[in-house]
Amino acid sequence: MSETPTAPRPAVIPYLSYADAPAAIEFLTTAFGFEELFRFPMEDGRIGHAELSFGGSVVMLASVYEELGFASPRDLAGIHTQVQVAVDDVDAHFERARDAGAVVTSEPEDQFYGDRSYRAVDPEGHRWIFSQHIRDVPPEEWKLPE
C-alpha cells in the first residue's frame, strides 16, 4: 500500500460506502484481486477514504457516515450499486472469488453481446459483475435468450 494515491484518475470512479470498510478492503483485495493504494483512517476507527486499483482503474470507498447520509447497501432494500469489472480470465477470477467466500449470484456464462461474465455480491451488498470479452457481436445481432 502506498502512502499517497498514485493511480491515474479515470473520468468516472465508483465511490462505495461500507459499514465495515477495513473488512471490505480485505475482502476486495482477497476475493476480487484489487490492490490497496491508499487508506486514510479516522481517529474514531472509520475509514475516511481509501483507494483500490484493478487493471488500471480505481474504486474509492469509505466507512458509512450516517451524519453525511452515507449508507451501506446491507442497510437498504434492493441492490443500490453495480460495478462492472473487465478481467482477463473470468473463469479463474470466478474460482478465486468463490473460494474466498464471495456470494455468487450467477456463475460464468457466455452473454449474447459477446462477453462471458458472472455476478457476485460483496459482504455488504454491492453487486459486482466481472466479465471477459470473448467475441465481437454487432449490436444489430444482439438477441436476448428465449
The answer to whether residue 56 is domain-embedded is yes
Contacts (Cβ under 8 Å, ≥6 apart) of 139: 113
d(CA 8, CA 12): 11
Q: For residue 28, give its domain range.
A: 15-141
Run of H or E residues at 103:
strand 103-110
pTM above 0.75, yes or no: yes
Residue 9: the pLDDT is 67
User: Which pLDDT score, from 0 to 100, does residue 144 have?
Assistant: 79
Burial of 53 (0-12, 13-18, 19+ CB in 10 A): middle
In a domain, 69, yes or no: yes
- Residue 8: what pLDDT? 59
CATH number of domain containing 137: 3.10.180.10
Could you state, in chain order, the average pLDDT of each consecutive group of 10 residues for the chain (146 residues)?
A: 56 89 96 96 94 92 89 77 93 96 95 95 93 92 81
How many C-beta atoms lie closer than 10 Å to residue 69's C-beta?
8
* Structural domains in the chain (count): 1
> Among residues 134, 33, 35, 132, which one has the least CA distance to residue 86?
132
Which residues does residue 126 pair with via DSSP β-bridges, in sequence order? none
> What is the CA angle 20-22-24, rounded to 5?
70
Domain presence at residue 2: no
pLDDT of residue 2: 47
